[in-house]
Chains A and B, each alone.
Chain A
Amino acid sequence: MAAIDTTIIKDTPASPAAAGDYEYVIESKDLCLYYGKTMALKHISMGIRANSITAIIGPSGCGKSTYLRCLNRMNDLVPGVRVTGSSTFKGRNIYDRDVDVVALRKQIGMVFQKPNPFPMSIYDNVAYGPRIHGTRNRQELDRIVEKSLRQAALWDELRDRLQDSALSISGGQQQRLCIARCLAVEPEVLLMDEPASALDPIATSKIEDLMRVLKEKYTIVIVTHNMQQAARVSDRTAFFLMGELIEYDNTRKLFETPSDRRTEDYITGRFG
């Protein structure tokens, strides 16, 4: 199946692949994931639209984070993981053999549950990505750092402290710094794995505001255990349960008139 996809795609004109060329920037088809013999994701098929926020909700252990990590192949790092089916990024199966995961991840950034700034200065954190991808020029780096911090709404708070250790700022600032760090390599997609779960309400609302601004330029997929958060920020929501995709629809529709009984039980708090 993957082979067919490839031939079709190779025929498409070699124009810079603007997100609009495809209905979905990311599209999974029949994606299954196994931890050893256990099937952790069961036949997931869903597409993610460009310049939108897609939320993935579900009870703990439902596979939502695992699915997110399939999208930039971070699951490769877990020993014993096997993936079948396909997941495409701009029409191309990222599980094909000739895919360079390093280049892939440059275009699909990821923000983690716990803020994970590197133990270096704030400036070096943001400049890390451009540097590993070959930018050496100091002025260029300065420009990227400022731009990224501005996008993450951090510039005004941190402009005088760029050489301070990234570990010295607050948790909320650290998480926005991690977002800025991702933005610095200009990805097309941002994967966010419960980005606000370790933060207080004020820091959380700052992150949510930030996401609404960022979706103008980026495609965002967020995993959250907080249904209000999903309802507040996302355009579309997917509900996962025990490794299965139960329902995937417009956020409003899913929360107001869910079509599956299990979705309704979950969002009304009957379980989970």
Chain B
Amino acid sequence: MSEYSFTGKPVRKVVEKVIESSLLLCALSCILTIFLIILFIITQGMPIILKEGPVDFVLGTTWDPYNDIYNILPMIIGTFVVTLLSLAIAVPLGLGCAMLIAEVAPYQVRGIIRPAIETLAAIPSIIYGLFGLIVLVPFIRDYIVPFARDYIAWMPLVGDLVGAKGNGFGVLAAGVILAVMILPTIISISEDSLRAVPRELREGSLAIGATKWQMITGIVTPAALSGIIAGVVLGMGRAIGETMAVLMVAGNSPIIPTSLLSMTRPMTSAIVLEWNYATGDHQTALFAIGIVLLFVIMILNLIIYLGKRKKLNVARM
């Protein structure tokens, strides 16, 4: 033992090192999981893509498991259309809501809306699906479809876009349900970035005589735009990946949707729907759909990640 009780290399140092390494190992498990997911999904699904040819797989229009033809364009379009519709509804609504609680409403109102949003985010997708199935679909069938048939169908372009026939299932129902589901994501991230706008900007704007509305739309929103876009991209990712709720209201015919009221089968729905009876090449094809989903989502993730990095760098300067 040294006389100096603070020198030497005690066991504790080794213990500390061991602990740190095990913690690191756990942290790496996130990356490992992502890596394994990508690896397994790709190795499982790739054979079909190669067999069909990547171009045919993505751009062909026939999905016919009985004759071993697996082209997924209808599903890609289905996912795309449903996602677009949900964004068209949720972005204005969500942004409005975020502006309301960040800029306009008194403190107490935020105390009501914030928990409501958190609850909306926590409700399982199957509940949304059930609600859509028993409330929204009949509503569309009984009210929207007749309305469209009687009053909208005659219009050029718009009439075609909306459609005049349908049983309630389809793009419209799926888009509306998805919109409600991605609202919380859009609202909470937009609100955070609106709040992060420095107070000086607001005061400066009001001090030169801008109205509150001019301040919000002219100064605060542009300043918060990158955060708002991140929220929208995140919401988009959620809409693309959502499975159960869409599955229960989309109607699921594997055709290319032509109007708001026509049925559709987005990619996620296809996997669950056919899982039970899919074997061999058919199951491989479902994994191939997984590859496409994963690819799209990873690109969205990358966009968000790079956006965040950029923002950080700006903040550092």
Contact = CB atoms under 8 A, between A and B. Distances in A.
- Touch between chains A and B, by CB atoms below 8 Å: yes
B10 interface: yes
B4 interface: yes
A15 B10 CA distance: 21
A103 interface: yes
Most buried by A among B3, B4, B10, B13: B4
Most buried by B among A16, A96, A98: A98
Interface in A254-268: none
Interface in B134-170: none
B193 to A, nearest CB: 28
A267 B3 CA distance: 42
A92 B12 contact: no
Interface in B1-18: 3-10, 12-13
A121 interface: no
B3 A100 contact: no
Contacts of B12: 100, 102
A90 B5 CA distance: 11
A12 B6 CA distance: 16
B3 A104 contact: no
Contacts of A96: 7
A102 B6 CA distance: 8
A94 B3 contact: no
Contact of B7 (A15, A16, A99, A106): A99
A264 B7 CA distance: 41
A19 B12 CA distance: 27
Most buried by B among A14, A89, A100: A100
Contacts of A15: 3
A100 to B, nearest CB: 6
A17 interface: yes
Contacts of A94: 6
A14 to B, nearest CB: 4
Interface residues of B, number: 10
B7 A98 contact: yes
B7 A17 contact: no
A45 interface: no
A113 interface: no
Nearest to A12: B3
A9 B8 CA distance: 15
A137 to B, nearest CB: 21
A107 interface: yes
Interface in A8-41: 9, 12, 14-17
Contact of B5 (A9, A12, A101, A107): A107
Interface in B33-66: none
A238 to B, nearest CB: 24
Nearest to B4: A92
A14 B9 CA distance: 19
A92 B3 CA distance: 10
Contacts of B6: 89, 92, 94, 99-101, 103-104, 106-107
Interface in A189-209: none
Contact of B13 (A90, A92, A100, A107): A100
A89 B7 CA distance: 11
**9 smallest beta-carbon distances between A and B, as pairs:** A104-B6, A103-B6, A14-B3, A92-B4, A98-B7, A99-B7, A100-B6, A103-B5, A100-B10
Interface of A: 9, 12, 14-17, 89-90, 92, 94, 96, 98-104, 106-107
Given A90-B4, A96-B7, A103-B6, 11 more contacts: A9-B4, A14-B3, A17-B3, A92-B4, A94-B6, A98-B8, A100-B6, A100-B9, A100-B10, A103-B5, A107-B6
10 contacts: A12-B3, A15-B3, A17-B3, A92-B7, A94-B6, A100-B9, A101-B6, A103-B10, A107-B5, A107-B6
